[in-house]
Structure 1
C-alpha cells in the first residue's frame, strides 16, 4: 500500500465499523426492551394465578371482599400494561432509525435528517457502555436547526468519536458530566460536546489531531485525527478549548450539508 493510501483505507474501514456499531446499539436497546417484556410476562402469569384463585373463592362463597382484591390485582396489571405500551413505542422509534442505515453507503446524499437526530441516536447507542449509561450525567441542549441532506455517516462517526473522547476524559469521576449542544451558527450549524474532566495536558493539546499520538496507553491516537479529516470532508471545522475541569469540542457544519 502506498504512503497516504492508508488514510482512505482507514476511513473506509471506520465507516464499515460505524454501521456495525449502530447495529450493535440497536440490538442492545432492543435487548433491554425484550427483558422488560419478559419480566412483565412472568408477572402477568403470577397475578393471573392469584386472580383465578380469588375467582374460585368467589364462586364457592358468593359476593365477598375478594371482589375488592380482584379489582386491586387488575388495577396493578393496568399499570404494568401502560409500561409495556410505552416500551412498544420506544421499540418503534428505535426500529424507525434503522431505516437510515441503507442510506449510509450513499455518501453524497440521502433522505433529510437533522444533526439533533444524530446526537440523540449516538447518545442512545453510547448507553451500551455501562459507565456512560449509569455513571455519567448527560445533558442535551438542542436548538431548532434546519434539515441536512449530506454527510450523515461522517457526522455519526464524528459524534461517536467526541462522545467516546468525553467519556474517556471523565472515566472514574464521581460527578462525571457530558453536555451536547446544537445551535444555528450563521448559515450553518454548530455542535458542542463538553465534559468536566481534568482538561488536556500541554502535550496532549499540542498534538491533538496528529495520527498515532496518544497520551493514553492502549490508544491508537486516531480518533480526533479521524474526526478532523471527516469534518474537513464535509467542508466544516473542528476546534477545542480546554482548561482544568472543562474541555469543549466545537463543530461547524457548513450550509453545503443542507444541499443534495
Structure 2
C-alpha cells in the first residue's frame, strides 16, 4: 500500500512539474519573440529621431507645405511608436508574472491538437537548451493526418520530453549529433519514435532502463524512463526500445480509442 501511495504521489508531482516546465518553455519562446519586437522598436525610434533631425534642418533652409506635412506625419508615427514601446514593456512584465495552464484546445484555425502538436511543441521547448538548438541536427518525420487528442495530452508531453532529454544526453559532445522524431499510424494505434545516434545502450542499461533509480550516469536519479513507462501504461499504451552501437530508439504506441473522450 505504501508503495502504491508513493507511486501516485510521485506521478501527481511529476504532472505538476510538467505543467511548470511547459510554462517555462512558453515563456522562453514568447520572451524571444518580444525581445525581437523590443529591438526593432528601439531601432525604429533611433531612425525616427535622425529623420526628425534631418527634417528640422530642411525646414530651417526653407519651409514648405510638403515639409510641414511630412513633419506632422512623422510626429504621429513617433506617438504610435511610443505606444508600441510601452506595450512591449508591458508584455515583458506580463510574461514575468503570468501563470498559464494549457487547456489543449484546438489550435488557431480549428486545427486539431494531435500527437504531432505534442512533438512540435516539445521540440520547440527543448530549444531552450543551447546544445539542442545549435549542435544537434533534428529531423521530424510526422505522419498526416492523425486523430485529435482528447485525452492524455499532458502525459504524452511528459513522455516525449523524457525521451528527448535522454536522446540529448546520449549525443552530448558528438560532432554529428542527430535526433530523429517520428509519428506514425500502426494498426489501431498512433506511434511515436525518438531515435538518437549516440553510442547505444550497454547490456545492463538495456535490461534495467525502466527500473526506478537505475542510471548509468552519475548524479541522475534514474526515474525518467520509469516514469515514462508508468505514464504510457496509464494511457493504455506500450513503450519499447531497440539499441545497437550508434543508434538507440524508444517507441511508444497508444490505441486511438484510448485518446478519445
TM-score higher than 0.5 here? Answer: yes
**Paired residues, number:** 228
Aligned twin of 1:109: none
TM-score (norm 2): 0.79
Aligned twin of 1:166: 167
What is the CA RMSD across the aligned residues, in angstroms? 2.9
Q: 2:100, 2:215 → 1: CA distance?
A: 36
TM-score (norm 1): 0.79
Question: What is the SS of the residue equivalent to 1:189?
Answer: strand
| Cα displacement (A) at 1:164 | 0.5
Aligned twin of 1:4: 4
Q: Which 4+ runs in 1 deviate beyond 6 A? A: none
Q: 1:100 to 1:116 in 2, by over 3 A?
A: farther
Aligned twin of 2:248: 247
Aligned twin of 1:228: 229
Q: 1:100, 1:116 → 2: CA distance?
A: 20
Superposed, 1:36-115 pairs within 5 Å as 36-61=36-61, 101-102=102-103, 113-115=113-115
Q: 1:209 to 1:122 in 2, by over 3 A?
A: same
Aligned twin of 1:183: 184
Segments of 5+ residues of structure 1 without an aligned counterpart are 63-69, 75-83, 105-111
Question: What is the SS of the residue equivalent to 1:55?
Answer: helix
Question: What is the SS of the residue equivalent to 2:117?
Answer: helix
8 Å CA contact 2:23, 2:100 repeated in 1: no
Segments of 5+ residues of structure 2 without an aligned counterpart are 63-69, 75-83, 106-111
| Cα displacement (A) at 1:60 | 4.6
Q: 2:57, 2:6 → 1: CA distance?
A: 76
Aligned twin of 2:123: 123
Aligned twin of 2:211: 210
